[in-house]
Amino acid sequence: MLVHPQFDPVALQIGPVAIHWYGLTYLVAFGLFLWLASIRVGRPPYADTGWTRRDVEDLLFYGVLGVIIGGRLGYVLFYKPGYYAENPLEIFAVWKGGMAFHGGLLGVMGAMALFAWQRKRRFLEVTDLIAPCVPTGLASGRIGNFINGELWGRAADPSLPWAMVYPQSGTDIPRHPSPLYQFALEGLLLFVLLWVYARKPRATGQVSGAFLAGYGVFRFIAEYFREPDSFLGLLALNLSMGQWLCLPMIAAGVALWWWSGRQAASRST
């Protein structure tokens, strides 16, 4: 049975300045996005419609703002609305932690809508461009979660070869290393599937729909191995908050994929 190595969260200390591993994983995520999105704008249909590397850099800036603002507000509204209603100034205390992927997704969508409006691009054209470039960033973030020893999994069979004790949990119960499951599913596997899918011409919106549905399905599965938030536990039907938030995401992704295909078919007839 494995024990979480309890990494020092500080990767480098220079005087009073501390560089955390989690911050470095964000830098890796941003770098991967720049690299992958730059590849995509160099290929059809983006290369044929005037997309440039500068557009990618601007997209990253908009996206970072969307992730930070949306992720924080999503955590506040989805997970601890009562607490933050009583302590509104704590909303700004982002250094204490508390970010939600689904809120970050909504924030990024809002940022991409603003970018599309300013550049006179179609919203779904923009989201189709970035969708295959997002999962590697998610994978990087999950490595950060693992290094920090957070978001540990539910209790696992001690005979499971990779079951892991998280001393941070205050118990010696062997657990699923759920950040690594999410790294593999919603990170690497989703990236490979979307990258391959997006290499062929698709109706505008279908790559975005595939991302929404794919992430929703993989996150829903991973949540069965992730310990629910202690202040929420399991909700109706024994589903976690993360799973309930994934259901509309899956439905929206499937609907968008289907609608986009129908729209393309009607235009071609």
SS3 29: helix
What is the number of other CB atoms lying within 10 angstroms of the CB of residue 65? 15
- Asked if residue 176 lies in contact with residue 251, where contact means CB atoms within 8 angstroms, the answer is no
Non-local CB neighbours of 190 within 8 Å, separated by 6+ positions: 135, 138, 211, 214, 215, 218
| H or E segment to which residue 204 belongs | none
φ, ψ dihedrals at 225, nearest 5° = -110, -5
226 - beta bridge partners? 153
Structure tokens at 146: 């693992």
Non-local CB neighbours of 104 within 8 Å, separated by 6+ positions: 66, 67, 68, 70, 71, 74
Q: Which residue has 């005979």 as its token pair?
A: 159
Is 142 annotated as belonging to a binding site? Answer: yes
Annotated binding site: 142
